[in-house]
Amino acid sequence: MIIWLASYPKSGNTWIRSLLCSYFFSKNKFGLLDLKRIPRFSLSDFIENKNLLKTNLNVAEQWINAQTYINKKIKKTVFFKTHNAALSVNKNLFTDSNNTAGCIYVVRDPRNIITSYKNFESISYERALKHMTNSDAFLFDKKKFENKFGFRGYEPIMSWSENYKSWAHNKLGIPVHLIKYEDMIKDTLGELKKIIDFIAEIQKDKNLKFDNEKGKRAVDQSSFQSLSELESINGFSEAREGRKFFHLGEQNDYKKILPSDIKKSIEENFLKEMLELEYIG
């Protein structure tokens, strides 16, 4: 079935994709095009009947149908990236335990997310904060979706805290492996091993053992410096025009660059979840 790589935007999802693509799919040299092996989930890739999708309410109605189709057609585990919250729209679930084997959820300190998000979208801190605290927040789907169906499509992400809780505390019976971005920085190889072990566990695959050499190669090929250099040479289709996707890396330190009023607002809005994740206290 499907394994989701889920997160709130700018939390490290692309880093995890890079590690897994390098580990599983890249025999020699990893390139950014390899990330297509773990694509962003979009109905435009699986629905051909244009009459099925006329509005974004129709999008929600087809989430489960598309995933059922995928699991019937592709007789192996598939990975999808998503920023979608594990929510329900008009009683239409984004996913369920009949279609999902598990979720690898990446969480990051929201005080560092906001600067990355601000730079990526080229907006103010105030506007980024408003988006991060909005329960009705969403992202637009891929350009391919609009070209195919005539409207932009959407990916409801909710607020930072609601996105996190929807997956980490889901009541759908979906196993979740929670990764903290900060732990990835401290011990990338060790956290990658935990991910591979989780994949083996939910697949009940006793033959899937962590390969330390493959892991080391994946860590090296997926470092911020390596990904930034690849983007500088070949560009990256997921970047905004005129702006780098791999921009700040570890230089994105809220203690040094985040305005104090924005820091205070984030801590007040997300106090419960930040305490739970030990970002505060």
How confident is the model over 86-110, as pLDDT tens digits? Answer: 999 999 999 999 999 999 999 999 9
pLDDT at 240 over 60: no
* Average pLDDT, rounded, for the chain: 90
Cα–Cα distance measured from residue 173 to residue 157, given in angstroms and rounded to the nearest whole number: 20
pLDDT at 239 over 60: no
Nearest partner of 141 among 217, 226, 55, judged by Cα? 55
- Predicted confidence (pLDDT) per residue in 97-155, tens digit: 999 999 999 999 999 999 988 888 889 999 999 999 999 999 999 899 999 999 999 99
- Classify residue 221 as exposed, middle or buried by CB count within 10 Å of its CB (0-12, 13-18, 19+): buried
The confidence score (pLDDT) of residue 248 equals: 54
Sign of CA dihedral 86, 149, 132, 185: positive
pLDDT at 236 over 80: no
Cα–Cα distance measured from residue 10 to residue 114, given in angstroms and rounded to the nearest whole number: 8
% of the chain with per-residue pLDDT over 90: 68
Out of 56-60, 122-126, 221-225, 238-242, least confident range: 238-242
Cα–Cα distance measured from residue 118 to residue 259, given in angstroms and rounded to the nearest whole number: 13
Cα–Cα distance measured from residue 75 to residue 256, given in angstroms and rounded to the nearest whole number: 49
- Predicted confidence (pLDDT) per residue in 167-200, tens digit: 999 999 999 999 999 999 999 999 999 999 999 9
pLDDT at 238 over 60: no
N- to C-terminal Cα separation, the chain: 38
The confidence score (pLDDT) of residue 119 equals: 84
Write down the pTM of the prediction: 0.90
Output 110 or 224, whichever has higher pLDDT: 110
CATH number of 2-276: 3.40.50.300
The confidence score (pLDDT) of residue 244 equals: 53
Cα–Cα distance measured from residue 178 to residue 156, given in angstroms and rounded to the nearest whole number: 20
257 phi and psi angles, rounded to 5 deg = -120, -15
pLDDT band, residue 234 (cuts 50/70/90)? low
The confidence score (pLDDT) of residue 186 equals: 93
| Per-domain residue ranges of the chain | 2-276
The confidence score (pLDDT) of residue 190 equals: 96
Out of 23-27, 123-127, 176-180, 233-237, least confident range: 233-237
The confidence score (pLDDT) of residue 138 equals: 95
Out of 72-76, 194-198, 222-226, least confident range: 222-226
DSSP string across the chain:
-EEEEEESTTSSHHHHHHHHHHHHH-SS---GGGGGGSPBP-GGGT---GGG-SSHHHHHHHHHHHHHHHHHH--S-EEEEE---S-EETTEES--TTTEEEEEEEE--HHHHHHHHHHHHT--HHHHHHHHT-TT-EEE--HHHHHHHSS--EEE---HHHHHHHHHT-SS---EEEEEHHHHHH-HHHHHHHHHHHHHHHHT-TT----HHHHHHHHHHTSHHHHHHHHHHH--TTSPTTS-SS--GGG--HHHHS-HHHHHHHHHHTHHHHHHTTS--
Strands 2-7 and 138-140, sheet pairing: unpaired
The confidence score (pLDDT) of residue 281 equals: 83
pLDDT band, residue 29 (cuts 50/70/90)? confident
The residue with tokens 């962003």 is 40
Sign of CA dihedral 15, 122, 8, 110: positive
The confidence score (pLDDT) of residue 235 equals: 61
The confidence score (pLDDT) of residue 127 equals: 96
Tokens encoding 38? 């773990």
The confidence score (pLDDT) of residue 233 equals: 60
Nearest partner of 10 among 112, 81, 104, judged by Cα? 112
Contact 179, 102 (CB under 8 A): no
